Structure formats: structure tokens, C-alpha cells
Amino acid sequence: MSFFAHPTAVIDEGSKIGAGTKIWHFSHIMNGCVLGELCNIGQNVVISPDVILGNNVKVQNNVSLYTGVICEDDVFLGPSCVFTNVINPRSAVNRRNQYLSTKVGKGASIGANATIVCGHDIGNYAFIGAGAVVTKYVPAYALVVGNPAKQVGWMSEYGSKLLFDENGEAFCKESGDRYILKNNLVNKVNE
């Protein structure tokens, strides 16, 4: 076994777990899941069937990832955040054939206690504030907060707020990387 699982973790047969991944206390990894390399799955996490996590995904304590969720590499999921997979659930109505997918782009961060309503993708390096309720698509590098979540700015790949000048140019205060804002889309400039 090239990954670590705490003795209280439950890992169903048929899941695939990458090298160097750690699964902590009381977490349940269900059948058909694919977890990449070097992931960290915190305490009391539920990962439902067929969820896909890329490499280096950090899942904090008490997170629920339901069928239909795909997280690309380097995603951070804060404590107690949750993803839904049915728009109109009812206990007496089986809607398993109506699950909607949600893709979380490379490097995105989702804050503690945020809720991601299914069917709404999150762009690369987007930043979802703690407690936000995401009810629509979130563009790459966007900073969204509140209920319902509204965009209030832009974030760098390092997680620093970007302040664009009148020419649509900003620099990350941590890395010095340059970003351009054009047509309400942010791109990192590789020079």
C-alpha cells in the first residue's frame, strides 16, 4: 500500500488511491472514487462514489463530496464545506439518475462552511470565501463571498488579492507575477 489510511477510515473496494495520499480518522472513501497522489483527506470526510480528486488536493475535516464532483490538482477544500448533487432533493423521490456534476479547477480554494450547489463549475485558482453559497459559475481567479456568492475581486495563484490598475494590469504582492484583466477575464502573464 503506497498511501496511508488511519485504522478508523473506511475504504470501499474499487476505489483508487494515489501514492503518498493520507486518509485520516473516520473518513469514508466509497466505491469508484479516484484520489490522486499526495492528497490529504482530513477527519470525518465522506467521498461518495465516482468522485475524482487530482493530485495534491487538500480536504479538511468534515467535508462532504458527493457523486458528480471533480477536483483538479492543487484544490483546497476548507473545513465543513459541502457539495450537493441534486437540485431538488426529496426523501421520497429517487433522483440518482439526475446527479449534476461540479468541476473545481486547478488551484481553487473553497473556504470553511461554503456550500457549492451542483452544476456550477469553479474556475482555476478561484477563491470561495468562508460560508459562501455558490449558485452559479465562478470564473478563474475570481474572489466570491456571501449568500448567494457574489464576486468582489480577483485573486492570484498565491492567494493574494489582485488590484488592477486603469490598464487592467496587476501584480501579485507575494510572487511578483503579472496578471491582465481584459473582457472580465484574468490571465497570468508568463514573461
pLDDT tens, position by position, 96-133: 889 999 999 999 999 999 999 999 999 999 999 999 99
Domains and CATH numbers, the chain: 4-155 (2.160.10.10), 160-191 (2.20.70)
Please tell me the predicted confidence (pLDDT) of residue 1: 67
Please tell me the predicted confidence (pLDDT) of residue 191: 66
Q: What is the dihedral of CA 131, 135, 141, 146, to 10 degrees?
A: -30
Q: What's the CA gap between 104 and 174, in Å, rounded?
A: 24
Please tell me the predicted confidence (pLDDT) of residue 170: 98
Exposed/middle/buried for residue 165 (C-beta within 10 Å: 0-12, 13-18, 19+): exposed
Task: Give the angle subtended at the CA of 129 by the CAs of 126 and 132, to the nearest 5°.
Answer: 110
Please tell me the predicted confidence (pLDDT) of residue 84: 95
Please tell me the predicted confidence (pLDDT) of residue 190: 82
Distance of CA 106 to the CA centre of its chain: 9
pLDDT tens, position by position, 136-165: 999 999 999 999 999 999 999 999 999 999
User: 28: part of which helix (H) or strand (E)?
Assistant: strand 28-29
pLDDT tens, position by position, 46-103: 999 999 999 999 999 999 999 999 999 999 999 999 999 999 999 999 998 899 999 9
What is the DSSP track for 48-83? -TT-EE-TT-EE-TT-EE-TTEEE-TT-EE-TT-EE
pLDDT tens, position by position, 179-189: 999 999 999 99
Q: What is the dihedral of CA 10, 15, 20, 23, to 10 degrees?
A: -20
Residue 24 amino acid letter? W
pTM of the model: 0.96
